[in-house]
Amino acid sequence: MEQETPGTGLYVARGGSSSGPLSLAELLQLWAENKIEEQSLFWHEGMPGWVPIRSHGIWRRLVDSAPLPAKVPTADDHERIFGSLLKESWRYHNQQFSASVVDDVFIGLLIACTLDNGWSLIDMTSDGSNHYLRFENFKDQSRVYYQVRHLTHSLAEQKAVGNRVGIIVGYGERTNDFARLWSTLKQELRSGYIQSPEPGTITFDADMGAGYIYVQVDMFWKMEDYVGEGFATDGRRLDRDVDACTHTLRKYLRGRTGRAQ
């Protein structure tokens, strides 16, 4: 039998907090907003204590109550929704674009930083994914070069393993010393036996024509270290890493072939 329910002074409790006193209309509003559930407790003046709302007659009133009419969107609402769909589409488009060009941002940063350190770009080839850059310091005629290959083009790959490039960093010095050239040439022949270099594999190259000897190493670099959200770049970090590589390779080259004349 349905209990008599007053129109005001109603209380409902859920999850340790209670609401009330409420009118019947306010209770129906809470129901429409999904703020009342079967386990909620119910009480009004005159009742001996709290009872599960499911067991009280008011439950029937709630279940039978019609849902609140949906708000009819205005012309402004339509335009706002259309705008947000468009904005979201562009956000996705830009995200995909950024993922595919992060290596180009890195290459530009590498050029800017290397030039700031007194080198000039003397050779560049690029097909969009494979980049080759060679720089020379015209004061001492030393050279550095980078061969960069973007490995993770898609956003999904980047989220899974990070944004990686395979990079070969090389350092070279010009020499007129035949013994030094010959020593590097022998190393180059031995380097030829290495079929697939791994990180840390150091190889040599001698350019007899222009009198250059080179040493190079294979690595994998993480782009997030240098290029962030919205193409924000960290040139200082790149400078530090490039300096470390150049310094070590120079030492290695001189250690193996003798000091520059």
Partner 1 sequence: MISILSQFAHKAEVRESKDEILVGEIVRAMYRRNCVSTGFYANNDFQRVRFSVRKDQVLHNVYVTLNRLSGTGAISSAIFGSKATLTISAEIKNYISDPDDLLEMYKTDLANIFKLGVMGGIKLNHELNSVFATTSMVIEIDDYVLKGEPGVEKLANLLSDHIGKLREKLVPYKKGDAS
Residues that bind partner 1 (CB under 8 A): 83, 86-87, 90, 97, 101, 104-105, 107-109, 111-112, 115-116, 120-128, 131, 135-136, 138, 141, 174, 176, 178, 181, 209-211, 230-231, 233
Provide, rounded to whole angstroms, the least separation between the CB of residue 176 and partner 1: 4
Q: 107 CB contacts (<8 Å, ≥6 apart)?
A: 126, 131, 133, 148
Provide, rounded to whole angstroms, the least separation between the CB of residue 182 and partner 1: 11
Q: Which is nearer to partner 1, 86 or 244 (CB)?
A: 86
Q: Which is nearer to partner 1, 64 or 229 (CB)?
A: 229
Two structure tokens written together for 64: 């039978």
Two structure tokens written together for 104: 């180009």
Provide, rounded to whole angstroms, the least separation between the CB of residue 161 and partner 1: 22
Two structure tokens written together for 209: 């024509």
Provide, rounded to whole angstroms, the least separation between the CB of residue 129 and partner 1: 10
CA distance 29 to 43: 17
- The number of CA neighbours under 13 Å toward the Cβ of 207 is 12
Provide, rounded to whole angstroms, the least separation between the CB of residue 126 and partner 1: 4
Q: Which helix (H) or strand (E) holds 174?
A: strand 164-174
Laid out side by side, the sheet with 51-52 consists of 17-22, 10-14, 41-44, 51-52
Q: Which is nearer to partner 1, 191 or 233 (CB)?
A: 233
Provide, rounded to whole angstroms, the least separation between the CB of residue 99 and partner 1: 12
Distances (CA, A) of 67 to 27, 31, 58, 62: 13, 9, 16, 10
Q: 109 CB contacts (<8 Å, ≥6 apart)?
A: 226, 227, 233, 235, 238
Q: Which is nearer to partner 1, 121 or 189 (CB)?
A: 121
Q: Which is nearer to partner 1, 40 or 184 (CB)?
A: 184
- The number of CA neighbours under 13 Å toward the Cβ of 117 is 18
Q: Which is nearer to partner 1, 59 or 146 (CB)?
A: 146
